[in-house]
Copies of this chain bind each other. A is one copy, B any other.
Amino acid sequence: MADNLAEPSKSALKKAEKQAKMAAEKAAKAAKQAAMPIVGGKKADDIIGITVSKADNFPMWYQEVVLKAEMIEYYSEISGFFILRPSSMYIWNTIRNWFQERIEAMDVEEASFPMFLSSKSLEKEKDHVEGFAPELAWVTKAGDKDLEVPVAVRPTSEAVMYPYYSKWIRSHRDLPLRLNQWNSVVRWEAKQTTPFLRAREFLWQEGHTAHLTEALAGEEVLQILELYAGVYEQLLAVPVVRGRKTEKEKFAGGYYTTTVEGYIPSNGRGIQGATSHCLGQNFSKMFDITVEDPAPKTEGAEKAPPIHVWQNSWGLSTRVIGVMVMIHGDDKGLVLPPRISKLQVVIIPVGINKKTTPEDKTKHYDQLQELKATLKKEGVRVDYDIRDGYTPAWKFNDWELKGVPLRLEYGPRDAEQQQVSWARRDTGEKGTMKIESIGSEIPALLEKIQSDMYHKAEAAFREHRLVINKWDEVVPALDAKNVVLIPSCLSEMCEDEIKNSTASKSEAPEGLAEMKAPSMGMKSLCIPFMQPEGIVKGETKCLNPKCTAMAEKWCMFGRSY
């Protein structure tokens, strides 16, 4: 299996990527030249399918899926940018609406701040900004005139927003201040970009809130984290582990970071899902965001000093879509969970051929219409495919490639027996169903598909999350596509050391994170909130044999994105 091959070279990866793009472009061109409709569909069969298997070449498989399922288009004008096509935007908007409804209930309000920040505001928060500096896109000219002061496109909006928090927060009565915005940010990555997972511009939401106390801020951090987990688990059918980042991996300039971490079975790598940060008072001190102490004064006591507010920031990006694709997709293409699929059910007429009379055909199509109407009434997102000149087999492939969760087939024989035939996209399972009951059975089946997809992914993650007590078992566990929970002292130095000692010697040059086969060293993913038993404070040692410290917690490590 490719996963166990040595690290591919950078040029080999670039070549593979190029080949995938060229193949897709060639296919598009061929389809155009073929001057549709293609009778028989044989020719098109060759074109639309996925050409590599998920097991053999996972990165290339992924690129083909997102491209051919029409989720993404490469923006060939500027590298590292992608176009999100309607099927992606449908998913993103479903997530957006779900999340928006819930944060509104928490009284988070929406705002829109400018996309640029001046070099002046950047200076205020040097520590935080240092990490972003190499990725800032600078506007230096407007028209043909040089700007007096260049401005950077936001990589995130702390520096844009917090000067106004200082202005707007006048009293403890103005707290909590909770603002969220849905926008895009730009990080001019030098690393290899990958659709959804790492792009130079991406869509996200960023929430920024201010509270009177640490406890109030901390409560919100967890509420939001739970919503992020809900996006993955309830909408995308993707299991995640909730936890806290180590000091090494937390948000630069923040106080602590909580995270939901996912797992990609195909290569055994962990992937950060979304993060909810408590910034503590670090930014409120930099940006001078204070309120008077609302506690009643003791008589004769000196006036209490102003309180720096406690802040949080939290963000969820279109990366979630990529994680979902990687987990559920298969060699036929995309597999979408019903709750986020724009089209949940596609009805395909079968058994209509040259011998069918026009009257019979019309009658049959009228019945399709009725099936659709019945399902629509039940809130199912459904359509039928009566494109002429394509065989049913071609249509099956096309909709499988695009990930539609459930296919219904309906032919004259089905009509006779008052039934429809169905096929699940996730398992390939097939069956028939009486027409009189589709209004109740199809919605139930869709929910079952959603639930089965989640449980399958959840089992994969659970089985590959190993609790390990012997250092010698760590690297073999990683090589067998697991992530590991080990007793850890949680120190930054120890983590650096672990990363080095678990890496294979033939490591590829930097800048290839996305495409690396799993011979890289392992990183800490999170300190899970749900801790296994077995660590005795002051007795259990940190598992790293080169570390002499005591273990604080079980920490989840893994090769990762």
* Inter-subunit contact B139/A153 (CB<8 Å): yes
Q: Are B137 and A35 in contact (CB under 8 A)?
A: no
Query: Does B163 lie within 8 Å of A77, measured CB to CB?
Result: yes
By a CB distance below 8 angstroms, the chain B residues around A28 are: 167, 170
Chain B positions within 8 Å of A110 at CB level: 86, 89-90, 93
Cβ-based interface call for A115 (8 A): yes
Bits for A97-123, please: 1 = Cβ < 8 Å to B, else 0. Answer: 000000000000111111111101100
Within 8 A of B (CB), among A131-171: 133-144, 150-151, 153, 160, 163-164, 167, 170-171
Interface 1/0 per residue, A53-93 and B, CB below 8 Å: 00000000000000000000101111001111110111011
Q: Are B170 and A114 in contact (CB under 8 A)?
A: no
Are A118 and B78 within 8 A (Cβ)?
A: yes
Question: A173 contacts B83, CB within 8 Å?
Answer: no
CA A332 – CA B334 in complex, angstroms?
Answer: 57
Asked if A179 lies at the interface with its beta carbon under 8 angstroms from chain B, I say yes
Q: Which residues of B contact A141 (CB under 8 A)?
A: 137-138, 140, 150
Q: Does A36 reach chain B (CB closer than 8 Å)?
A: yes
Q: Which residue of chain B is the closest to A151 with respect to CB atoms?
A: B78
Give Cα distance in the complex from A399 to B117, angstroms: 33
**A201 an interface residue at 8 Å Cβ cutoff?**
yes
Q: What is the size, in residues, of chain A's interface with B at 8 Å between Cβ atoms?
A: 65
A190 to chain B, nearest CB (A): 8
- Give every chain B residue within 8 A of A93 (Cβ-Cβ): 110
Query: Contact between B83 and A113 (Cβ–Cβ < 8 Å)?
Result: yes
Interface residue ranges of A291-332 to B (CB < 8 Å): 292
- Within the complex, what minimum Cβ distance (angstroms) separates A169 from chain B? 9
Cβ of A32 under 8 Å from chain B: yes
Q: How far is the CA of A160 from the CA of B142 in the complex (A)?
A: 19
- Closest beta carbon of chain B to A39's beta carbon, Å: 14
Q: Check A111–B135 contact: CB distance below 8 A.
A: no
In the docked arrangement, what's the CA distance between A198 and B111, Å? 19
* A137 B142 Cβ-Cβ under 8 A: yes
- Given A134-B144, A135-B142, A139-B137, A171 contacting B35 (CB threshold 8 A): yes
Which residues in B have their C-beta under 8 angstroms from that of A31?
A: 170
Known: A83-B164, A134-B143, A144-B134. A184 touches B115 (CB 8 A): yes
Does A188 sit at the interface, judged by CB under 8 A?
yes
A466 an interface residue at 8 Å Cβ cutoff? no
- Shortest Cβ distance from A187 into B: residue: B142
Complexed CA–CA distance, A201 and B173 (Å):
32
Within the complex, the shortest CB–CB distance from A254 to chain B, in Å, comes to 22
- Cβ of A20 < 8 Å from any Cβ of B? no
Residues of A391-406 whose CB lies within 8 A of B: none
**A486 is an interface residue with CB less than 8 A from chain B:** no
- A186 vs B160: C-alpha distance when bound (angstroms): 17
**Chain B residue nearest to A188 in the complex (CB):** B142
A52 within 8 A of partner (CB): no
- Provide the bound-state CA to CA distance between A164 and B28, in Å: 12
Bound together, the chains give a CA A77 to CA B166 distance in angstroms of 14
A188 to B116, CA, bound (A): 12
Quick one: given A28-B167, A36-B173, A114-B201, are A109 and B137 in contact (CB under 8 Å)? no
Check if A112 sits within 8 Å of B90, measured CB to CB: no
Whole-angstrom distance between the alpha carbons of A439 and B183 in the complex? 38
Q: Is the pair A138, B142 in contact by a Cβ cutoff of 8 Å?
A: yes
- Evaluate contact between A203 and B137: CB separation under 8 angstroms: no
User: Is residue A42 contacting chain B, with contact meaning CB distance below 8 A?
Assistant: no
Q: How far is the CA of A176 from the CA of B109 in the complex (A)?
A: 37
Interchain nearest-CB distance for A444 vs B (Å): 27
Inter-subunit contact A78/B116 (CB<8 Å)? yes
Contact A109 B138, beta carbon cutoff 8 Å: no
A142 to B140: give the CA distance in the assembly, Å.
Answer: 11
CB-based closest 6 A-B pairs: A142-B188, A86-B109, A134-B143, A84-B112, A138-B141, A81-B114
